[in-house]
Amino acid sequence: MNLLIIRLIIFAVLFLAGLKLYRMYRQWKLDHDDSMADDNHRVEGQMVRCAWCSVHVPESEALRDKGEWFCSSAHRDRYLQERQSDENE
Ligand SMILES: [Zn+2]
């Protein structure tokens, strides 16, 4: 009978320890994912200026052409058209 109780206690302790470790791991994973997301956010947080309309857009959403940044392909096309006609004049 005593042996059974000791086994039960050992089992309970192991179970609680496992649960605690699992929770610690989950918390660590959450923190880890958060810091990873922060890093990504910082990179995406780089703002660049559209050469056509001067609006600031995140680098990840901007288009780059001929050393200039643009908020959209429409503005890129208009800017390049404008520049081309300037060169022709
Ligand atoms: Zn623009």
Judge if 72 and 35 occupy the same domain.
no
Measure 89 CA to ligand 1 centroid, in angstroms: 24
Judge if 39 and 55 occupy the same domain.
no
Q: Which two tokens stand for residue 21?
A: 């470790």
Pairwise CA distance, residues 74 & 78, whole Å:
6
Measure 75 CA to ligand 1 centroid, in angstroms: 5
User: What average pLDDT does the segment 16-35 reach?
Assistant: 90
Judge if 10 and 26 occupy the same domain.
yes
Q: Which pLDDT belongs to residue 37? A: 64
Judge if 30 and 51 occupy the same domain.
no
Q: pLDDT digit string (tens) for 45-82?
A: 789 999 999 999 999 999 999 899 999 999 999 999 99
pTM over 0.95: no
Q: Which residue has the tokens 């429409």?
A: 74
End-to-end Cα, the chain, rounded Å: 102
The tally of domains found in the chain comes to 2
Judge if 56 and 88 occupy the same domain.
yes
Which amino acid makes up residue 61? E
Q: Which one has a higher pLDDT value, 56 or 30?
A: 56
Judge if 59 and 70 occupy the same domain.
yes
Range of the domain at 89: 46-89
Measure 70 CA to ligand 1 centroid, in angstroms: 5
Q: Which pLDDT belongs to residue 87? A: 76
